A and B are shown apart, each in its own frame.
Chain A
Amino acid sequence: MRTPPGVKEADFAAALREFASAIGKQWVFTSDEDVDLYRDAYSPFWGEPEERQASAALAPDTVEQVQAIARIANRYKIPLYTISTGRNLGYGGSAPNASGSVVLDLKRMNRVLEVNENNAYALVEPGVSYFDLYRYIEERGLKVWIDVPDPGWGSPVGNSLDRGGGYTTHQFRNHFDAHCGMEVVLANGDLVRTGMGAMPGSKSWQQYKTGFGPAIDGIFSQSNFGIVTKMGFWLMPQPDAYLTGTVEVPRHNDLVPLVEVLNFLENSRICQGMSDLSSPVMGMPAPPDAPPSPPDLIALINKAIDGNARELDDYAASKGLTAWSVTIKFYGPAKAIAAQWEYAKEKFSVIAGAKFIDGELIRLPLTAGQRDKVHKVEFGIPSLSIFSMGARNANNPTPGDGHQWFSPIIPRNGEAVFEANKVFAAAGRDFGLPVPPFSIPFCFWERSFLFLFGFPVTHDAAKNKSTREAFRHLVQIAAGHGWGEYRTAPAYQDLIMSTYSFNNHALLRLHETLKDAIDPNGILSPGRYGIWPKHLRGARR
């Protein structure tokens, strides 16, 4: 049996006995066979000594059991690593930051406590997955939508705390922003409710976010300051209809005005869904089963990246293709969203040669036949279809064993997209990374672009080592240009936190001050997002 670092075997054994007494011995996992199920299947250190692995796992069923676990862990100084569903693959899965931690698996706490249709909100426990919540709503015929990430087998609590995103409208895509009220077990076992939940008998815990006094919910996201045991979320009233409209512009440099108009329309809430940018001439983003781009096209793309797009524009014209396309999405009353699309066309018409393609107006709810054809997540329907990207297919006969995401935030303008591609294309060539010929940014977040590069994880240590080195270089290169990652796997959290270094790492120093005050024994998820307790800090800084 593995033991947590710095904990005597006898103390660990005593703690495990007390954990078993608190939650039932069948929910204390200590055999290698059971604990191995908590390995991060997508670990970039798979099979190497540095792979972060748990020593045991605990699966409580109630808040009271979580409180009891925290008190026992504090007494024996056992590091706990909390997971909700443990499915944030590519960002760490169910494995801890610090090897030897005991995973606190909240999957059994899977109760949907409330869904209020009239005022569109929900209150759930951490083990509730998006599939579970969707099913609960569907079975009751409630006219509210959830906003789901892709894939959808994670939990609203875990995904929002890790600051994940979805695909419906602005107000709900940022999952942490869409939450309203938390219940948190602190390291000493105390129980806190945030927002209106702090008032006994409150009638509006999920209806007003900030309550009274400092709004502290944010410190429980991407951190290790508490164990969130309940969380409220605002839901989207089921809209009457959904409409898409596509704008195509002819020249490479048209991206600049295209993004300017797009920003105006999104920031004005004229179009509310997640816009999709693409490049018809470059064939980007490529579908998962697409063959590689032809070399002559790649040469033209590289010239465009270097600032000379004339030949690429000529090539596009000769093929009858446009340089850029953006599909914008509308949710709401059919007449209103049709009018919003007409207004959007007027705005995009400032770009010479802009063409418009009307999408199908879909009246909601979807019929069974429509469900199979649409991009489900845009309708709040959880799905795992995104795994098609990494799974075996005709053009990927030897799939890898997972992926890790390099995901920098880039300013929302066309010039930044060109600059980022120049920088990342060069880095990709230098380090032999599978960077696509041109990377198209995603519009998940308001006001910014997100670049997403999925790098393969294998069970070949040499290949993983090479990818890790390239990943680290990319982080540094991005930081050198003022681009930071929004989220990452434990393997890179220290590195990325170190790039947020304004004023001699003042933000990290504040995190550490909080950590020392709120969790003096450092038992909660040590190392998560680069925040280490005092006794482990020296080695990491």
Chain B
Amino acid sequence: MKTFRVALLSTLAAGIAATGTARADDEAQVKAGNAVFQKWCAPCHASGPGHPGTQALQALYNGAKPAPLEERTDLTPEFIRNFVRHGVSVMTPFRKTEVSDADLAALTAYLIRTQR
């Protein structure tokens, strides 16, 4: 019985540790994605004037959705990938030497962070 209890506690502890590790991994991924966003996306998509992407989304949605991408809560990984790799209008695609697949995964984690 004692052995079982120790095993159970060990399993629970391992589970908690695993959850903690996963959370830490997620946080690291979101942090990395924030850096990708600030480097590659913010010059056009940050909030405030002087950001053509934000200007374009304001004109497109007219307030129905937030114009700055970081304030959106409806973005999906497919949506983000499509615009990064295919662009739209005057926004051009980004090559993998600029935004790698790993960068794109991190960026996605950052932009959907509020949906968890």
Contacts and interface: CB of A to CB of B under 8 A. Distances in A.
Q: Do these two chains really belong together in a complex?
A: yes
Interface of A: 29, 33-34, 36-39, 41-42, 57, 59, 85-86, 89, 93-94, 105, 107-108, 127, 131, 153, 372, 382-388, 390-394, 396-397, 399-403
Contact of B59 (A42, A105, A153, A397): A397
B96 A37 contact: yes
B48 A394 contact: no
Contact of A37 (B39, B56, B60, B95): B95
Given A29-B96, A383-B43, A387-B44, 11 more contacts: A37-B85, A59-B97, A89-B92, A105-B97, A384-B43, A384-B51, A386-B52, A390-B89, A391-B53, A394-B59, A399-B56
Contacts of B78: none
Contacts of B56: 391-393, 399
B50 A38 contact: no
Contact of B89 (A38, A384, A388, A399): A399
Contact of A391 (B48, B52, B87): B52
A107 B95 contact: yes
Contacts of A57: 95
Nearest to A456: B90
Interface string B38-68: 0100011000101111011001100000000
B96 A153 contact: no
Nearest to A106: B97
A400 B90 contact: yes
Nearest to B89: A399
Interface string B68-100: 000000000000000001010111111111100
Which of B52, B85, B97 gathers the greatest number of chain A CB atoms within 10 Å? B97
A365 B95 CA distance: 35
Contacts of A85: 98
Nearest to B97: A107
Nearest to A403: B90
Interface of B: 39, 43-44, 48, 50-53, 55-56, 59-60, 85, 87, 89-98
Contacts of A403: 90
15 contacts: A33-B85, A36-B93, A42-B92, A57-B95, A89-B92, A93-B92, A107-B97, A372-B50, A385-B52, A388-B52, A391-B55, A393-B56, A396-B59, A399-B90, A402-B90
A384 B55 CA distance: 12
A56 to B, nearest CB: 13
A383 B59 CA distance: 21
A119 to B, nearest CB: 29
B43 A388 contact: no
Contacts of B89: 390-392, 399-401
Contacts of A127: 97
Nearest to A87: B92
A384 B89 CA distance: 15
A107 B91 CA distance: 19
Nearest to A89: B92
A390 B59 CA distance: 13
Contact of A388 (B55, B91, B94): B55
B54 to A, nearest CB: 9
A392 B92 contact: no
A108 B39 CA distance: 15
Contacts of B85: 33, 37
B28 to A, nearest CB: 22
Contacts of B44: 384, 387
Contacts of A33: 85
Given A383-B43, A384-B44, A393-B59, A86 B93 contact: no
A400 to B, nearest CB: 7
A72 B51 CA distance: 44
B43 to A, nearest CB: 4
Nearest to B84: A37
Nearest to A40: B92
A39 to B, nearest CB: 8
A124 B43 CA distance: 22
Contacts of A86: 95
Contacts of A399: 56, 89-90
A26 to B, nearest CB: 9
A94 B95 contact: yes
Nearest 5 A/B pairs, CB to CB:
A387-B52, A41-B92, A392-B56, A107-B97, A384-B43
A453 to B, nearest CB: 17
Contacts of A391: 52-53, 55-56, 89-90
B95 to A, nearest CB: 4
Contacts of B87: 41
Contacts of B98: 85, 107
Contacts of A400: 89-90
Contact of B90 (A59, A108, A153, A390): A390
Nearest to B57: A392
A393 B90 contact: no
Considering residues A33, A89, A397, A402, which has the most beta carbons from chain B within 10 angstroms of its beta carbon? A402
A130 B34 CA distance: 20
A131 B51 contact: no
Contact of B48 (A41, A93, A372): A372
Contacts of A382: 43
Contacts of B55: 388, 391-393
Contact of A392 (B50, B60, B94, B97): B60
A511 B69 CA distance: 48
